[in-house]
Amino acid sequence: MTNLQLRALSGAAYVAVLLGALWWGYDSTALLFFLLGMLGLNEYARLVEGLDGISLPRLPLLGLGAVGLGLGGYAFRGMNYLLVMNELFMLYLQLVFLASVVYVVFSRRERSFVQVGVSLLGLLYVLLPCVLAMSLARFNTGYLAMVLVGVWSNDVGAYLVGSAVGRHPMFPSVSPKKSWEGFAGGVVATVLVSVLLGPWLARRYELHSWALFGVLVSLAAVVGDLFESRLKRTVGVKDSGSFLPGHGGVLDRVDAMLLALPVAYILVLSKLLL
């Protein structure tokens, strides 16, 4: 089996699992994003350990991640409120903050500030979007489906247009293969798919709102991809892991989604899509 065939097969399986979880219901979706969050957080911890002088307490970090994801999944199971109304998860965030301050004060490590900062960034980067996905799944599954579809549309549009006419590098020092032409193709593809499928999947019919959704999700997806590329380039690795054959690690597949989810969530909170 060639690498392209392996990549296509594992990619199709990944998409099938995501769509199957959404179709099955909230519990399966929450479980899936719990697993994605834990795998992604573990990969993040491994990556940042390659940074100069940083040693993360991986087990405590994964423990905090498991508690946060578990609380998010449990709290939203019996309600359709958005995250800002979830007192249980807000309490968790406050306790994490207080624990971080106490650790910095009493730690004997010379770089405890950096260690805590990098750990908190990991929780925000990986854990929070997964909890937001759980919240969207409970509030309106169509919104979550549109984030996934929007990210995939952006990838496909950027790849097709960039491969065909890409001439001007976007950020060659971070991701040499990305071009401005591919970026434009991704934005157009995401807007078109959002306008066509958004009203049907989410049962919200304002086309101008879905056009805005497409633009912002596309921009967020690109920045999310560039963030992970920058992190990998900084530590000198090609992939975040090897969990998905032909694709690398979990972060390599969800990097765009991790930033697109908060952006979509802000649109929902601002009532631009309600």
Q: Which of 88, 40, 225, 92 is nearest to 151 (CA)?
A: 225
Task: Give the model's pLDDT for residue 23.
Answer: 86
Judge contact between 200 and 181, C-beta under 8 A.
Answer: no
The pLDDT of residue 7 is 59
Q: In this predicted structure, what is the pLDDT of residue 105?
A: 79
CA distance 145 to 194: 11
For the CA atoms of 198, 270, 151, 90, the dihedral, rounded to the nearest 10 degrees, stands at -130
Looking at residue 124, the DSSP 8-state letter turns out to be I
- Write the CB contacts of 189 (distance below 8 Å, at least 6 apart in sequence): 153, 154, 156, 157, 158, 218
Q: How far apart are CA 82 and CA 79, in angstroms?
A: 9
For 218-256, the pLDDT digits (tens) are 999 999 999 998 988 888 888 777 666 656 788 988 999
Q: pLDDT band at 11, cuts 50/70/90?
A: low
Domain that holds residue 243: 3-270
pLDDT digits (tens, 9 = 90+) for 115-151: 888 888 888 899 999 999 998 888 888 899 999 999 9
> Could you tell me if 252 and 244 are in contact, meaning their C-beta atoms sit under 8 angstroms apart?
yes
Residue range 100-120: mean pLDDT, rounded? 79
Instruction: Check whether 53 has a pLDDT greater than 60.
Output: yes
Q: Which two tokens stand for residue 197?
A: 């499928």
Has residue 100 got a pLDDT over 90? no
Closest CA to 33 of 262, 250, 249, 264: 250
pLDDT of 47: 86
Residue 98 amino acid letter = L
φ/ψ of 139, rounded to 5, equals: -75, -50
Q: Residue 34's pLDDT is what? A: 95
pLDDT given for residue 85 in this prediction:
55
Q: What pLDDT digit, counting tens, does each position of 66-85 carry?
A: 988 988 888 777 665 665 55
Provide the pLDDT for residue 59. Answer: 82
Q: What is the pLDDT of residue 149?
A: 92
Residue 228 sits at φ, ψ, to 5 deg, of -70, -35
What's the pLDDT score for residue 154?
A: 93
What is the number of domains present in the chain? 1
What ranges make up the beta strands (E) of the chain?
169-171, 175-179
Q: What confidence score (pLDDT) does residue 6 get?
A: 59
Please, are residues 14 and 228 in contact by the beta-carbon 8 Å criterion?
A: no
Torsion of CA 109, 44, 48, 220, to 10 degrees: -120
Give the percent of the chain with pLDDT over 90: 32
- Position 50 scores a pLDDT of 65
Tokens of 199: 């009203």
